[in-house]
Chain A
């Protein structure tokens, strides 16, 4: 018999293991339950919070006078009125209660109003005048890593790096991918609301829906400048939480208004304000590379996790810890390097949401496991079973799993659950995608099955002692014993109110249990209702308090000689009753139970007993600098198998069934476990296909339940609970693990895997939108894939001799090369950072200029110049032909022609290096201005310039936005260098964005001080910094560029590969190498196949690809990219990452960057630019 078949209802007073009814269930269904929005007090005022409509601005002035003039307004408060700390925060107090000088996200509070009527308060808030000076918002988390800080604490909340295991043997197969998770909202139904009542002692009582009364209290007291005992928080009815009530939202505002007015103040947020008032799930971008042996056993995983933390810290530090530590999944991974960043942006703050970092990681690692399964043609369930963690295994954080870990069990059970009978053709129209709208065509509906398994930690981690206190009082009411439990655990719907009663019944046999209202005034902290922890922690505290009360009663029994031998008490009662150890306690409780209720009542006749207990989990430790440590208390696992039907023409998905198995330790209340499983799957399905807060430059586009799509009951799949695996967890009260979060973790990747199986698409971002499916270029549909494990058709390599990775993602159109060829890349919006204007000359152009300059022997000298065999020869040749440019018009037309050439090969943004020392025929300033004018001219329509079009097959060219990098020559005269910097500092010429340095790197040593000063000056005047290094110099040249010049990118840098420590520096500092494979092959390595691009890639460096001197080497960017792809066996997604790396490293302004990022976006989601 399954645990779910146990009785669905049980009498009040039933112990653990039965589906005891929840005391708040019927009142909630009947609308009688009092939620925090129902709070009311005599004479209360209504509050309203004014929030910022802009994501980033300096505040010049806030004028509250117009609000105060409105009839019925009782108070307006701003940051200036705060008696205590100006900021709050769960881990770091970095978030202002009210913004005063700067706003950092849309919805940030600026002021609060109290008035007689909610409408008056709303109007008054609208009357407050705020003078904003807008700032360009920082919205791209990758950019935040290098952008100027938008907060005094900097842009990086936390960076951690996990290094685990030793070097690994050669892998048979390598798969990699980049995955993205959108911003999900907890979407609880009861918006933030509360009531603050000023106390006669100068303190305040706050009735509030929250997850953690005591930590709210501490933050509120600090901001009010009051001692903690003068701020009393009481739990009001909570309408759902899911992490969104872990942070302070309106708490301080309410208390401040109440203290200011001397009257009770209530705030109830509307839905739109609610979206702005709480944190959301962190959007994530996760890159993973898995190495495995031929049997699919994992050898090594490399990863990079970037979470967008939004404007303030909230619980970001803990979320990134989870996302990074769990990035390899519940698998044995002998070697791993995973780096995690969580950064500050001008997006809404992100923090806790059910699954807490594990959700984002699971979407990425489970997609990788499916890719690996396809690459090896191994069944995906079998592949997982070959790798699953078992008890005693070590995680990549070095922690040994010393509790239960039934991973194989949950995988097998979920995989073996019965599939829904039949197929889409057997379903009524209303059950097809689109439901009652009857838009689906059953002939175009494909069924797919997908699988995923995930895990996360229970309780708080990394050294935090999130203990819980409970007090149990036993007394007679009439003739019946009644227990009163006092515990501050917040009931947010999870069911602690039911379990507390079941535990008392189990421990003491008392049927009638009253739960005192949770409050900071009556009991110590219970910790947060989050991290799947209240059953374990507060359940444990209640159980221990029961046992302590039992001990007191037994002592009373012994003292009063009331214990009859036939009551069945142990003979060693005396010892048991005085024993302090927990095992003795258990026997006390059982001994008391054996007495029976009548005896209990008799004992209580002498007066009540009361006992308290504080429950601690075992200690944990923070992760060390290598990301190692016993950071977690315990882990819970769950597996999901999803079945979907997809109308491939419409892109509509119907999730038909989700089967699941979960590691629960022990089932304490089957119905409540089922509720958590179904609710978690609803949120997982939502993230898979519907739920996303859509942001546009920091603005929230959909702050309503009309536009933020939550699945309805009709959108929910059938949920099949294949197994609740009961292996009691050592150390857990009753052996029970928390069950709240695991259902959300792997349900999302299972659904997306099923959609991939149905459509053959990659789908590396959630939520999957219908247009992602309907408008994606798709392999010809042949038949319905029956299983998720349909192996990909092996793709033919581009050329027979080239290295190829088996993984090409889902099969592309037959015959399409896996390694992209140049033709595949025409139209990819090109970003090029390493290209020289000196390399923009064709032989014909040089000959033309030479004749115009009256040079002798033109043809021979041109031939000789273009045959340059090494760098020194090339530099000499450059001097000659650049020197032939004698007029500004010649320079302008050279620049214009080059910009049009770049545009014709698809480059939309280029930073073109010009070294004025080569251009002897024009004064430096005239030259730079003339070149900028040429770039400008190329942005207007016109005939191709002198260089002609690179390719007759190229699509019609869009203009290329060219910027200038003014480069010094390494051996340039010191005074001359100073003059260059003076000129750039006194009047920034148009289009100049950076300072560079090139020339023969071997002459560098003597120039270090001069160049260092020049680059320091460049930084001072706001120029970007780049340098040629690691080409003619070795790794030491690269180091010198980093140390002396402070560059953020390096031109070439390829010889860094000769020194692993230099590679680490580059990787850790996120310095981008701008690599030009063809140039390096010609001038450095002799042949392309000796180029170290693959090794640089394996070292995890940010790489951009450039052409260096395209007209000299006869390449353009698409060609160079395709050569890079062949060289390093890169697929299109990896090439796209080069373009993103280039964009991240570009020295343009954020507006240009985000506009370019949008142009790359269609390539990110579909692989090729979506048509239409």
Chain B
């Protein structure tokens, strides 16, 4: 449980962080709350040569009402997302999901941007971002900015469309004020990772994100298409695992995960449809 040796650099600004990243080259990694990266380093599944600590960039920790959407700084802690009144009113699904991450100690350290940029299929927040149709704001070398829709962000296992030298700065979440939503997180032991999770929001159309049903956070596109085509909730939910290749591990076989996805998607749709909250 001791990481391999690495060099530690602390950045005082986004610009400095970009510079340090460029300097560090291929093996440099950004450190935010450290709750995804550090465990991997301790298990020696990750061995970056340089860690650029952006954890103290206060100006990337905010929640703002942006009219049609809310803007959340990438370094906003889970605990802030969980309790912020703007998030609670306009993206209640996200507030709830943030409150499901780990335990209070984790939520006071971990950041929403770190969780999204890590791209772990077993994490809760990426699936919520998918369900909500969020957009990720990114800056690169020389301050070049671009926006990446959540649906295009997660590319492979722990792999995103962030390029080396780019920093995720903001998560823009379309408002779903008053919409029905649900988050179903299945685990065997309290406070564990989800074995399967489902985030759903119904706001005219329906967005559904799946946790731990493949090598990336996923959208349940088959269910969304069935609903768009007029299927009943139950009928739509039966498509929950369609076209997916859920992982096998000690907690669940692919068959069991597919079963859980069908049951949980149905429950999520029923809860999200029951009442706008």
Interface 0/1 of A118-151, CB less than 8 Å to B: 1100000000000000000000000000000000
Partner of B259, one of A652, A707, A710, A774: A774
Interface 0/1 of A759-771, CB less than 8 Å to B: 0000000000011
Interface 0/1 of B43-62, CB less than 8 Å to A: 00000000000000000000
Partner of A709, one of B188, B252, B253: B188
Given A650-B260, A702-B250, are A712 and B185 also a contact pair (CB < 8 Å)?
A: no
A712 near B250 (CB under 8 angstroms)? no
User: Chain A: how many interface residues by the 8 Å CB criterion?
Assistant: 31
Please give me the residue from chain B that is nearest to A272 by CB atom: B1
CA–CA, A712 and B197, complex, Å: 20
Partner of B185, one of A271, A437, A710, A771: A437
User: Which residues of the partner chain B approach A770 to less than 8 Å between Cβ atoms?
Assistant: 188, 252, 256
Q: How far is the CB of A709 from chain B (nearest CB, A)?
A: 5
B264 near A439 (CB under 8 angstroms)? yes
Partner of B190, one of A119, A689, A712, A771: A712
Q: How far is the CB of B247 from chain A (nearest CB, A)?
A: 14
Q: Does A521 contact B (CB under 8 A)?
A: no
A690 near B188 (CB under 8 angstroms)? yes
Given A650-B260, A714-B191, A770-B256, are A707 and B185 also a contact pair (CB < 8 Å)?
A: no
A650 near B188 (CB under 8 angstroms)? no
User: Which residues of the partner chain B approach A441 to less than 8 Å between Cβ atoms?
Assistant: 267
Q: How far is the CB of A554 from chain B (nearest CB, A)?
A: 58
Q: Does B100 contact A (CB under 8 A)?
A: yes
Given A1172-B255, A1172-B259, are A709 and B185 also a contact pair (CB < 8 Å)?
A: no
Residue of B186, B191, B255 with highest tally of chain A CB at under 10 A = B186
CA–CA, A649 and B234, complex, Å: 14
B186 near A650 (CB under 8 angstroms)? yes
B2 near A119 (CB under 8 angstroms)? yes
CA–CA, A215 and B170, complex, Å: 62
CA–CA, A441 and B264, complex, Å: 9
Q: Which of B243-266 contact A (CB under 8 A)?
A: 250, 252-253, 255-256, 258-260, 263-264
Given A770-B256, A775-B256, are A690 and B189 also a contact pair (CB < 8 Å)?
A: yes
Q: Does B123 contact A (CB under 8 A)?
A: no
Q: Does B136 contact A (CB under 8 A)?
A: no
Please give me the residue from chain A that is nearest to B264 by CB atom: A439
Q: Which of A611-660 contact B (CB under 8 A)?
A: 649-650, 652
Interface 0/1 of B166-208, CB less than 8 Å to A: 0000000000000000011111111110100100000000000
Residue of B183, B184, B188, B264 with highest tally of chain A CB at under 10 A = B188
User: Which residues of the partner chain A approach B258 to less than 8 Å between Cβ atoms?
Assistant: 1172
User: Which residues of the partner chain A approach B263 to less than 8 Å between Cβ atoms?
Assistant: 649-650, 774
Given A438-B183, A694-B250, A702-B250, are A715 and B267 also a contact pair (CB < 8 Å)?
A: no
Residue of A439, A694, A709 with highest tally of chain B CB at under 10 A = A439
A437 near B250 (CB under 8 angstroms)? no
Please give me the residue from chain A that is nearest to B258 by CB atom: A1172
Interface 0/1 of A407-448, CB less than 8 Å to B: 000000000000000000000000000111111010000000
A712 near B191 (CB under 8 angstroms)? yes
User: Which residues of the partner chain A approach B260 to less than 8 Å between Cβ atoms?
Assistant: 650, 774
Q: Which of A1148-1172 contact B (CB under 8 A)?
A: 1172
A775 near B255 (CB under 8 angstroms)? yes
B189 near A436 (CB under 8 angstroms)? no
User: Which residues of the partner chain A approach B194 to less than 8 Å between Cβ atoms?
Assistant: 437
Q: Does A463 contact B (CB under 8 A)?
A: no
User: Which residues of the partner chain A approach B184 to less than 8 Å between Cβ atoms?
Assistant: 437-439
CA–CA, A875 and B194, complex, Å: 65
Q: Does A83 contact B (CB under 8 A)?
A: no
Q: How far is the CB of A682 from chain B (nearest CB, A)?
A: 13
B253 near A771 (CB under 8 angstroms)? yes
Q: How far is the CB of B128 from chain A (nearest CB, A)?
A: 14
CA–CA, A1172 and B260, complex, Å: 12
B250 near A438 (CB under 8 angstroms)? no
Interface 0/1 of A696-709, CB less than 8 Å to B: 00000110000101
Q: How far is the CB of B2 from chain A (nearest CB, A)?
A: 6
Q: Does A334 contact B (CB under 8 A)?
A: no
Q: How far is the CB of A373 from chain B (nearest CB, A)?
A: 30
User: Which residues of the partner chain A approach B188 to less than 8 Å between Cβ atoms?
Assistant: 652, 689-690, 709, 770
Given A271-B1, A694-B250, are A437 and B259 also a contact pair (CB < 8 Å)?
A: no
Q: List the count of A-B residue pairs having beta carbons below 8 Å apart.
A: 70
Partner of B2, one of A118, A271, A439, A715: A118
Q: Does A7 contact B (CB under 8 A)?
A: no
Q: How far is the CB of B68 from chain A (nearest CB, A)?
A: 29
Given A438-B183, A438-B185, A1172-B259, are A715 and B252 also a contact pair (CB < 8 Å)?
A: no
CA–CA, A775 and B255, complex, Å: 9
Q: How far is the CB of B184 from chain A (nearest CB, A)?
A: 5
A437 near B189 (CB under 8 angstroms)? no
Given A436-B190, A437-B186, A438-B183, are A775 and B259 also a contact pair (CB < 8 Å)?
A: yes
B100 near A701 (CB under 8 angstroms)? no
Q: Does A948 contact B (CB under 8 A)?
A: no
Partner of B189, one of A119, A694, A715, A775: A715
Q: Does A711 contact B (CB under 8 A)?
A: yes
CA–CA, A1011 and B186, complex, Å: 64
Please give me the residue from chain B that is nearest to A710 by CB atom: B189
Please give me the residue from chain A that is nearest to B267 by CB atom: A441
Q: Which of A1099-1117 contact B (CB under 8 A)?
A: none
CA–CA, A1071 and B81, complex, Å: 67
User: Which residues of the partner chain A approach B191 to less than 8 Å between Cβ atoms?
Assistant: 436, 712, 714
Q: How far is the CB of A1142 from chain B (nearest CB, A)?
A: 27
Q: Does A154 contact B (CB under 8 A)?
A: no
Please give me the residue from chain A that is nearest to B124 by CB atom: A437
CA–CA, A694 and B248, complex, Å: 14
Interface 0/1 of A848-886, CB less than 8 Å to B: 000000000000000000000000000000000000000
Q: How far is the CB of B37 from chain A (nearest CB, A)?
A: 16
A435 near B190 (CB under 8 angstroms)? yes
User: Which residues of the partner chain B approach A714 to less than 8 Å between Cβ atoms?
Assistant: 190-191
B100 near A437 (CB under 8 angstroms)? yes
User: Which residues of the partner chain B approach A652 to less than 8 Å between Cβ atoms?
Assistant: 186, 188
A436 near B250 (CB under 8 angstroms)? no
Q: Which of B209-235 contact A (CB under 8 A)?
A: none
Q: How far is the CB of B141 from chain A (nearest CB, A)?
A: 35
CA–CA, A770 and B257, complex, Å: 11
Interface 0/1 of A703-734, CB less than 8 Å to B: 00001011110110000000000000000000
User: Which residues of the partner chain B approach A436 to less than 8 Å between Cβ atoms?
Assistant: 100, 185, 190-191
CA–CA, A270 and B185, complex, Å: 31
B189 near A709 (CB under 8 angstroms)? yes
B256 near A434 (CB under 8 angstroms)? no
User: Which residues of the partner chain A approach B189 to less than 8 Å between Cβ atoms?
Assistant: 690, 709-712, 715
CA–CA, A289 and B192, complex, Å: 40
A439 near B250 (CB under 8 angstroms)? no
Please give me the residue from chain B that is nearest to A709 by CB atom: B189
B1 near A270 (CB under 8 angstroms)? yes
User: Which residues of the partner chain B approach A1172 to less than 8 Å between Cβ atoms?
Assistant: 255, 258-259
Partner of B186, one of A434, A712, A775: A434
CA–CA, A119 and B259, complex, Å: 45
Closest 6 A/B residue pairs (Cβ): A437-B185, A714-B190, A771-B256, A439-B186, A439-B184, A1172-B255
Chain A residues at the B interface, C-beta cutoff of 8 Å: 118-119, 270-271, 434-439, 441, 649-650, 652, 689-690, 694, 701-702, 707, 709-712, 714-715, 770-771, 774-775, 1172
Q: List 9 A-B contacts (CB under 8 A).
A: A270-B1, A434-B185, A435-B190, A439-B185, A649-B263, A650-B186, A690-B188, A711-B189, A712-B191
Chain B residues at the A interface, C-beta cutoff of 8 Å: 1-2, 100, 183-192, 194, 197, 250, 252-253, 255-256, 258-260, 263-264, 267
Query: With contacts A439-B185, A714-B191, A1172-B258 known, what are 13 further pairs, Cβ within 8 A?
Result: A119-B2, A434-B185, A434-B186, A435-B190, A437-B187, A437-B197, A438-B183, A650-B260, A650-B263, A650-B264, A690-B188, A712-B189, A712-B191
